[in-house]
Structure 1
Amino acid sequence: MSTTATVTRESVDVAGTTRTFTTVGAAAAPRPLLLVFHGSRQTGDVHRAFTGGMFDALAESGDAVVAYLDGHRGNWNDARRGSYFPARRDGIDDVAFARAVVDTLAGQNRIDPGRVFAAGYSNGGQMVIRLVHEAPGLLAGAAVIAATMPAPDNFLAADPDPTPLPVVLIHGTKDPIVSYEGGGFSWWKRKLFKVGGDSWSAPRTAEYFAERNGITADPVISRLAGVAGDPTEVERAEYGVDGRPPVVLYTVHRGGHTVPGPGNAPRVVGRTSHRINTAEVLGDFFGLRG
């Protein structure tokens, strides 16, 4: 993996603990910031390679700065009551970590603190869901990939005064880790990933965020063009109404627990769709591409 943008390893202090992240892009003037949250048992740099470095393109074009954050021992302290991995057991404040990264980069005049977006995959997607609910004013938009909304009895975050946000969700119908249809985890998933509790389906998750934005109309459904040799199909459901931030769900038919784009995840987690490039989707949806 190579990039023409500046790549920097950085750190911040959060409650006496050193947290690390990798930034891509050296803006000459404040740019939008995309925070990227990796999946379980990854790091920011591992996830960067896992996705084929596709988010780097947003920095290479000069349109944004991309920050790949490192979780605590490979995980994020998300808002699922049933989580029991190290970040939860150790009481890690990942909301404060995200704020510290934003404050640090804004203090260096590299990013516009009013245009901060977050994208998370799997456990990272759950962390983005937590930020949406517990960090009002931090994000201007959110992307949740291969993760769905925890059921109410499995959700710890409070949301007394919802802040409407544009939200994009991407999920494969053949995801073997986080079911597109929702529900709980099998015994081996609970043991391997140290999570439990029920979650909603991907469509119900999209409806939840639409309703949170004040949108009750049915979504507009469309099918994206195919790609030769790619057995996946992508369906786009857009929830929108004038004056309200939109919510879009990309359903990747026959797609796995993966991030659609140029990279190829191990087949054990299912097919990686090449019918969409997630970075380009987010760039267009959040207005990060010039």
Structure 2
Amino acid sequence: MDQGKARTPVKSILFRAATGLLLAGVAHLAGAAQITSYDMARPDGARHYLLATPDQPAPGRHPLVILLHGHVGSAAQVLGRERIASPLSMWLHIADREQLLVLAPDGLLGSDGKTGWNDCRSDAVSNPHVDDVGFINALIDKAVAEHHADPARVYVMGMSNGGIMAFRLATESPARLAAFATVGASMAAKSSCAAPTMPVSALIVAGTADPIVPYAGGDIRFAMLRQRGSVVPVEEAAAGWRQLARLPAAGETLEFPHRDVADVTRATRITWGADPRKLQVALIRVDKGGHTEPSKVKRLKWMYRMMLGPQNGDVEIAEEAWSFFRDKQAGLKP
């Protein structure tokens, strides 16, 4: 396939209750970005990605947000083009409103036959052995050269395996990123990568009752999937990025207002660094939360909550991430 060859453009479809196998109670939200499908030739073979652009793009450079799906996920799922959709698809509405580019690449198949990312876990034996850092850097270059992305305002957000991949990108390509965010993820405990040496603003979101990626660290487990590697405690990962940014140990704590008495979870944000235009590290701890993205709008059905744990409904995580990203640019110093 030719590098950057576009497939057929499609208009992103907003979910309705009748079409949602996974999500319930999704309201119609006006304004969504235009999605185009692309292929890129890489040394590892053809790679696929989706690019969402504002419906009526303004002239000039646009911030770029890269979304990384989890293990067994896809770019289409992250952007809401499959029935098992992600709350991260709320980025489509943010893209149209805020004049963003939103790029969602597909991971490759690992030895377990499932899609994923090569994310530094040396003990995750089924991860694909490909140059995903090089692939994503090539996507950034292409977005800057051909789609008017602002090279100083590139952000990455990943869920689960995609979140661990976001940690790798921040470690190995820190100068390319203005900030990154992870959900349901931590850093590799047994890592094939060097430790980070340059600070990057980080938003880390995790549930204390995550049944797959343990908040307190340890082995990753899900159903019959084994040998998925291990991670350090989430708070240890946050502390490492805070220390690298030379931020004080005391952070500012905010408890999000609780919206639903039936929601057993509670969300608390701790932010280190007072100025959103400078380096910051933030941890959103979801007490009793599972392996799910918090969302007020895109609610998981009970069968998935049974498998993945409770979903917090006090935070719209894409909006929270954009609020964290908005004022940050690449190259911030401690």
| Residues 166-245 of structure 1 aligned to structure 2 (within 5 Å) | 166-185=201-220, 192=225, 194-197=227-230, 199-229=231-261, 230-240=263-273, 245=279
Q: How far apart in 1 are the matches of 2:283 and 2:149?
A: 28
Moved more, 243-252 or 208-217: 243-252
Using a 3 Å threshold, how does the CA distance of structure 1 residues 25 and 54 change in structure 2: closer, same or farther? same
| Residues 143-158 of structure 1 aligned to structure 2 (within 5 Å) | 143-151=181-189, 154-158=190-194
One of 272, 283, 290 as aligned partner of 2:322: 283
Q: How far apart in 2 are the matches of 1:19 and 1:120?
A: 18
Q: How far apart in 2 are the matches of 1:241 and 1:112?
A: 25
Using a 3 Å threshold, how does the CA distance of structure 1 residues 174 and 216 change in structure 2: closer, same or farther? same
Query: Residue type of the partner of 1:122?
Result: S
One of 56, 73, 80 as aligned partner of 1:42: 73
Give the match for residue 82 of structure 1: 123
Preserved contact between residue 215 and residue 244 of structure 1 (Cα < 8 Å): no
One of 89, 94, 102 as aligned partner of 2:140: 102
Preserved contact between residue 171 and residue 252 of structure 1 (Cα < 8 Å): yes
After superposition, the C-alpha distances for 1:136-178 in whole angstroms (9 at most, x for unaligned) are: 3111101011011222xx0121247x22211001001111101
Equivalent position SS for 1:61:
helix
Q: How far apart in 1 are the matches of 2:127 and 2:228?
A: 11
Equivalent position SS for 1:222:
strand
One of 52, 73, 76 as aligned partner of 1:24: 52
After superposition, the C-alpha distances for 1:225-247 in whole angstroms (9 at most, x for unaligned) are: 11124332111111226796110
Unaligned runs of 5+ in 1: none
Using a 3 Å threshold, how does the CA distance of structure 1 residues 175 and 219 change in structure 2: closer, same or farther? same
Q: How far apart in 2 are the matches of 1:132 and 1:237?
A: 20
Give the match for residue 56 of structure 1: 92
Query: Residue type of the partner of 1:264?
Result: R
Query: Residue type of the partner of 1:77?
Result: N
Q: How far apart in 2 are the matches of 1:185 and 1:25?
A: 35
User: If the length of structure 1 is used for normalisation, what is the TM-score?
Assistant: 0.90
| Residues 4-15 of structure 1 aligned to structure 2 (within 5 Å) | 4-15=32-43
Using a 3 Å threshold, how does the CA distance of structure 1 residues 244 and 284 change in structure 2: closer, same or farther? closer
Q: How far apart in 1 are the matches of 2:44 and 2:215?
A: 39
Q: How far apart in 1 are the matches of 2:256 and 2:96?
A: 26
Q: How far apart in 2 are the matches of 1:97 and 1:82?
A: 22
Equivalent position SS for 1:164:
coil
Q: How many residues align?
A: 280
After superposition, the C-alpha distances for 1:247-268 in whole angstroms (9 at most, x for unaligned) are: 0000111211011112234111
After superposition, the C-alpha distances for 1:62-82 in whole angstroms (9 at most, x for unaligned) are: 431111110002100111111
Give the deviation of 1:127 after TM superposition: 0.4
Preserved contact between residue 119 and residue 142 of structure 1 (Cα < 8 Å): yes
Q: How far apart in 2 are the matches of 1:288 and 1:110?
A: 19
Using a 3 Å threshold, how does the CA distance of structure 1 residues 55 and 207 change in structure 2: closer, same or farther? same
> Residue 137 in 1 paired to residue 167 in 2?
no
One of 145, 149, 160 as aligned partner of 1:111: 149
Q: How far apart in 2 are the matches of 1:264 and 1:48?
A: 15
Using a 3 Å threshold, how does the CA distance of structure 1 residues 60 and 194 change in structure 2: closer, same or farther? farther
User: If the length of structure 2 is used for normalisation, what is the TM-score?
Assistant: 0.78
Moved more, 201-210 or 211-220: 211-220
Query: Residue type of the partner of 1:220?
Result: E
Preserved contact between residue 233 and residue 253 of structure 1 (Cα < 8 Å): yes
> For the aligned residues, what is the CA RMSD?
2.1
Q: How far apart in 2 are the matches of 1:156 and 1:218?
A: 31
Equivalent position SS for 2:225:
helix
Equivalent position SS for 2:177:
coil
> Structure 1 residue runs of 4+, over 4 Å off?
241-244
Unaligned runs of 5+ in 2: 1-12, 15-30, 110-114, 329-334
Give the match for residue 108 of structure 2: 72
